[in-house]
């Protein structure tokens, strides 16, 4: 069923023996995922976003990791789809939101400058009835300024039910949080909705930054995507910046922020605090 679902709607797939192993792996992970929250097995890593004009840290993204008791650290691409399919992403997402705000508060309490912290929000979480109240609760209980919290939503999340997404986004804007479209360019955004959504930032998907040097078409698309963001008056963030060449291209095109291994990999909270303390410059973050 999952194989067929992956290929879109109205699809059928015949069962193949090798699927059995994947089904078992999935079930085993789903089973242990059910207890992971209460066992305190999740942690967040933090990856800075860099202002491309100044080289300063302009924000940070919280990225979820699972410290599995037997398998070690598991990356989100391995377990977030399972959490989404089983509905567990709703309580897990609530934990991420609160933990990210709690960490942002801890950095402020340690005397570090307030930082805009971004959290990834999945479709189910965004559609959940208590989503707005969980955002409010996280902000109130930690005393984080709403404008220092950014929610990253993929195009798919927003376009699934665009009309009700507009309502939810407006309510979030009333709270005062920042809103960003994640993986911009790979989904199927309707431009009329992009205009209607009260967004603050577009994060151009990594795939467009990847091979700009060898693929002229991609360089052209990247430049077009940056210009869409600029004309909508949004901040434009390029994700997956890995080389100096990519950085220069982005600077030339007037992209405001970048994120990627060239600047810094996702790091634990203590390490990120060190970067903040040093007032990181581009070279210091490597």
Contact residues: Ca ion, CB under 5 A: 120, 152, 182-183, 239
Residue closer to Ca ion (CB basis): 121 or 273: 121
**Judged by CB, which is closer to ligand C2E: 135, or 241?**
241
Does residue 266 touch ligand C2E according to CB under 6 A? Answer: yes
With CB under 6 A, what is the number of residues at the site for ligand C2E? 23
CB of 84 to ligand C2E, least distance (A): 7
Cβ distance to Ca ion smaller for residue 119 or 138: 119
- Interface with ligand C2E, residue 63, by CB under 6 A: yes
Among residues 182 and 253, whose Cβ is nearest to Ca ion? Answer: 182
Q: Are residues 156 and 123 in contact, defined by beta-carbon separation less than 8 angstroms?
A: yes
Q: Does residue 134 interact with ligand C2E by CB under 6 A?
A: no
Residue 16 Cβ vs ligand C2E, minimum distance, rounded to whole Å: 27
The only residue of 147, 261, 277, 278 in contact with ligand C2E, by rule CB under 6 A: 261
To ligand C2E, the closest distance from the beta carbon of 43 in angstroms equals 11
């Amino acid at each position: 069923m999952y194989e067929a679902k992956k290929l879109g709607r109205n699809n059928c797939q015949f069962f193949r023996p090798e699927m059995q192993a994947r089904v078992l792996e999935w079930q085993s992970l789903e089973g242990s995922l059910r207890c992971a929250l209460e066992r305190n097995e999740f942690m967040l890593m933090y990856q800075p976003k860099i202002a491309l004009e100044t080289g300063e840290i302009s924000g940070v993204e919280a990225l979820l990791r699972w410290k599995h008791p037997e398998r070690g650290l598991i990356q989100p691409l391995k377990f977030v789809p399972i959490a989404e399919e089983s509905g567990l992403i709703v309580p897990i997402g609530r934990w991420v939101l609160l933990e990210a705000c709690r960490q942002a508060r801890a950095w402020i309490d340690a005397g570090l400058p307030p930082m805009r912290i971004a959290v990834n929000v999945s479709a189910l979480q965004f559609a959940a009835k208590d989503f707005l109240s969980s955002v409010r609760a996280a902000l109130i209980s930690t005393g984080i300024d709403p404008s220092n919290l950014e929610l990253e939503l993929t195009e798919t999340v927003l376009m699934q039910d665009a009309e009700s997404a507009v309502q939810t986004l407006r309510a979030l804007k009333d709270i005062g949080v920042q809103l960003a479209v994640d993986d911009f360019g790979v989904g199927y955004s309707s431009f009329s909705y992009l205009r209607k959504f009260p967004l603050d930032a577009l994060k151009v998907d990594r795939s467009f930054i990847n091979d700009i040097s060898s693929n002229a078409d991609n360089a052209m698309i990247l430049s077009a995507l940056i210009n869409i963001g600029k004309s909508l008056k949004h901040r434009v963030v390029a994700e997956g910046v890995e080389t100096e060449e990519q950085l220069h291209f982005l600077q030339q095109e007037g992209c405001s922020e970048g994120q990627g291994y060239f600047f810094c990999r996702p790091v634990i909270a203590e390490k990120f605090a060190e970067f903040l303390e040093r007032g990181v410059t581009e070279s210091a973050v490597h």
